[in-house]
Amino acid sequence: MLKINRLSKTFYPGTEEENQVFNEFSLDIRGEECTAILGPNGCGKSTLFNLISGKIQEDQGSIQLENVNLSDLNEENRARYIGKVMQDPSKGVSPNLTVLENMTIARKKGQKFTLKSLLKNQDKEVVIEELKTLNLGLENKLNTKVKYLSGGQRQSLSLLMATLVKPNLLLLDEHTAALDPKTSQVIMEKTVELIEREKMMTLMITHSLRNAVQFADRVIMLNHGQLMFDLKTQDLTEIELEELYYETINQSLKTA
């Protein structure tokens, strides 16, 4: 379980630009559950991910992942427990390295190594079998630099790399937003296949209400750092979610 307890974060405190994003925010995420996070721009979605991953530090509160207190760890050490896939297909890979080099580095996550020793002892057959699970033919492009792959191929590779060493938590930060609709659908289907196969606890930021209903087990909405609703998607339609989403935003604007 991921347990966020009374989390507070204010940027630029004591200045004209002071911005309190979270004030004693709490949320529990259960294992083997994919939770979609919705909300307008500036609602706190990305800040929440950055607080969980350790990219920024909370002012108060705690973040517990299984039996690990993440609040005691820096970003590098948290990465041992957390996998991330970002919006930009190039963020989760090393574009100037080959597919094989990227995969072998990902397989050594959390271990100390040098690239020279890593490539000397690489296991190509294992990497080939892992790449075959994507059904994109990347196992035939082992020596191709990743920068020459398509956006969909890079994002698929990034997704696979983020989950090779099974993380306790997978963070998906609008990971299909930069892709065309057809490729986005393919990536989402591959995402769900990986999540279900590895039984990973997943948080997914998305602006797609369709993806939230179709692929997530649970959907929550943030606005001004507050939890606006928390629903199971099993009996929820896209139209019902859309109506609730915009009704919540309109009510928020009236009370602002």
Q: What is the DSSP track for 194-240? A: HHHHHT-EEEEE-S-HHHHHHH-SEEEEEETTEEEEEEESTT--HHH
> Under 8 Å CB-to-CB from 105, ≥6 apart: which residues?
94, 97, 115, 118
CB 52 within 8 A of CB 220: no
Would you state the pLDDT for residue 70?
95
User: What does the alpha-carbon distance between residue 117 and residue 100 come to, in Å, rounded to a whole number?
Assistant: 14
Which H or E element spans position 65? Answer: strand 60-65
User: What does the alpha-carbon distance between residue 244 and residue 17 come to, in Å, rounded to a whole number?
Assistant: 32
Domain with 223, as residue range(s), is 2-255
CB 102 within 8 A of CB 93: yes
Strand positions, DSSP E, 70-179 = 82-85, 169-173
Give percent of the chain above pLDDT 90: 64
User: What does the alpha-carbon distance between residue 79 and residue 95 come to, in Å, rounded to a whole number?
Assistant: 20
**Total of domains in the chain:** 1
**Segment 170-226, tens digit of pLDDT:** 999 999 988 888 888 888 888 888 888 888 999 999 999 999 999 999 999 999 999
- pTM value is 0.89
CA dihedral of 112, 114, 120, 123, whole degrees rounded to 10? 40
Q: Is 64 helix (H, G, I), strand (E, B) or coil?
A: strand
- Across residues 240-250, what is the average pLDDT? 94
Q: What is the CATH number of the domain that holds 202?
A: 3.40.50.300
CA dihedral of 101, 106, 111, 112, whole degrees rounded to 10? 30
User: What does the alpha-carbon distance between residue 113 and residue 198 come to, in Å, rounded to a whole number?
Assistant: 26
User: What does the alpha-carbon distance between residue 93 and residue 141 come to, in Å, rounded to a whole number?
Assistant: 15
**Segment 44-71, tens digit of pLDDT:** 999 999 999 999 999 999 999 998 999 9
Mean pLDDT, the chain, rounded, equals 90
User: What does the alpha-carbon distance between residue 68 and residue 233 come to, in Å, rounded to a whole number?
Assistant: 29
